[in-house]
Amino acid sequence: MTSPPRRRPPQRRRRPASTRTKQNRALAVVCVLAVGGLVAVMASGMGSDPTVSAANAEATASPATRTPATDPAPAADATQAANQSPAAPGASGVSVAAVGDTVMGTPEFGLPPAGGSTLFNAVKPLLKGDVVFGNLESALATGPSAKCGSSSGGSCYAFASPPSYARNLKNAGFTVMGTANNHSNDWGPAGIRSTVRALDSVGILHSGRPGEIAVQVLPNGTKVAVVAVAPYEWSQNALDIPGTQRLVRKAAGMAPIVIANMHVGAEGTSYRNVPQGAETYLGEPRGETRRLARGMVDAGADLVIGNGPHVMRGMEFRNGRLIAYSLGNFLGYKVFGTSSYAGQSGVLKVNLAPDGRFTSGTLAPVRLSGDGIPSPGGSSIGDVAALSRADFGKSAARLSNSGAITPP
């Protein structure tokens, strides 16, 4: 086992501009595609470690530069999420709203009525922030699955919602989706490409493919970089902690605030606690969860958002940065079990200072119906508070009865 990552001084300092300039030269080519509050940053000429944009040029072009033939019309209004912020960004920092695993239905188990347009209605008021993040644990694709064959005997689960459902994410307020998880590849490389096109078409940024960094630019010019990882070859591989740390450092050179998402850990109500060491599930390696999360903070992440276990897990602070180890299921229309702890969820609301330091946060409790549709309520605040104390002791986040989060 390698030695644990070195601790940084509590007051972290960003690299000087001269260092960032050298790093930018190493990127070879950086193209910024601007659109009223959101941009995609694409760096090329980096061999096998590309930084890929999360939105295409046509979907993110300003109205003045779009051509009628390629204009996706009002669907690509990329200023929507930024304008939903409860407070103006800038000197007050950046507000983030984050949720866990999200599947909007799949033909195998049933699609929701009205094209899924009402799935987020009850929780939409909670999805407010400069950055609104969720984990998209399915493809947005059509056609036969590349994962399950006729011999699977019902033991294979492949998730894909129609590409048009990207509109539901946009209308709910999401600005960035993580695509690093075990179901993003259920329709194979073609399904991943379809997912990317669908998100691009509505102006939602995404991160999760190898080397991919999403950069959201707020109306005041503040940049927020997002990196998403999972223990799979089609994603930024969470099993490669040094490689993941390098990607986080690269993101820190692109933006003063970095959010990292990790889809790791064993699944189910028996795995609510975060273990020491590596996790496995059904014989599959699922990452060294603690070392990964802390290593990403040490590399420059200002907020770490976890999902994957399908249950809520505890939270801790490291060097003044919050790590939420799992936000559980957020929406799983007829695909997730919702009994017991699997039906408890939440919306993590965090305010970060301009340098990325945690300034305040809350956990808004959410519960899932039998069909996996979220609504406010439930017992997740008390559950997460107890898990945090049990798993992390002195470094545990403290949660009040109202869900307010404070450092130890």
Per-residue pLDDT tens for 316-345? 999 999 999 999 999 999 999 999 999 999
pLDDT on residue 5:
38
Instruction: Give the dihedral of Cα atoms 300, 317, 184, 45; nearest 10 deg.
Output: 0
Residue 397 counted as domain residue: yes
Q: How many domains does the chain have?
A: 1
Least confident of 23-37, 98-112, 146-160, 308-322: 23-37
For residue 21, is it within any domain? no
- CB atoms closer than 10 angstroms to residue 25: 9
What sign for the dihedral angle of Cα 124, 163, 49, 82? negative
Mean pLDDT confidence for 261-284: 97
Contact partners, residue 174, CB within 8 Å, separation at least 6 = 81, 127, 132, 133, 134, 204
Confidence of residue 150 (pLDDT cuts 50, 70, 90): low
8 belongs to a structural domain: no
- 157: confidence class by pLDDT, cuts 50, 70, 90: confident
Q: What confidence score (pLDDT) does residue 154 get?
A: 58
Mean pLDDT is lowest, of 3-17, 145-159, 258-272, for: 3-17
Residue 293 has pLDDT above 80, yes or no: yes
Tokens linked to 205: 């940024």
pLDDT for position 88 = 36
Q: pLDDT-derived band of residue 144, with 50, 70 and 90 as boundaries? A: confident
For 35, counting Cβ atoms within 10 Å of its Cβ (0-12 exposed, 13-18 middle, 19+ buried), the class is buried
Nearest to 106 by CA among 34, 163, 168: 163
Residue % of the chain over a pLDDT of 90 = 72
Taking the C-alpha atoms of residue 293 and residue 315, their distance in angstroms, rounded to an integer, is: 11
Rounded to the nearest integer, the mean pLDDT of the chain is 82
Q: Is residue 63 part of a domain?
A: no
Residue 124 lies in a domain: yes
Structure confidence at residue 114 (pLDDT) = 97
Whether the model pTM is above 0.85:
no
DSSP-derived 3-state class of residue 49: coil
Tell me if residue 380 falls in helix, strand or coil: helix
Mean pLDDT over 205-229 rounds to 97
Confirm whether 55 is domain-assigned. no
Q: Is residue 51 one of the residues assigned to a domain? A: no
Summarize the confidence of residues 149-171 as an average pLDDT: 83
Host domain of residue 374: 76-145+157-406
Kind of pairing between the strands at 329-332 and 214-217: unpaired
Q: How confident is the model at residue 8 (pLDDT cuts 50, 70, 90)?
A: very low
pLDDT, mean of residues 289-299: 98
So what's the pLDDT on residue 268?
Answer: 96
Query: Residue 3 domain-assigned?
Result: no
Short-list 350, 354, 375, 372, CA closest to 363 = 350
Check pLDDT > 80 for residue 9: no
pLDDT at 71 over 90: no
d(CA 224, CA 116): 29
* Alpha-carbon gap, residue 273 to 325, rounded angstroms: 9
Indicate the Cα dihedral angle 273, 276, 281, 283, nearest 10°: -160
Structure tokens of 246?
């390098």
Angle at 362 between CA 212 and CA 333, to 5 degrees: 60
pLDDT of 74 higher than 80? no
Q: Any idea what the CATH number is for the domain that residue 277 is in? A: 3.60.21.10
Return the higher-pLDDT residue of 379 and 89. Answer: 379
Percentage of the residues of the chain whose pLDDT score is greater than 70: 75
DSSP string, 17-33: HHHHHHHHHHH-EEEEE
Q: Please, is 279 exposed, middle or buried when counting C-beta atoms within 10 Å of its C-beta (0-12, 13-18, 19+)?
A: buried
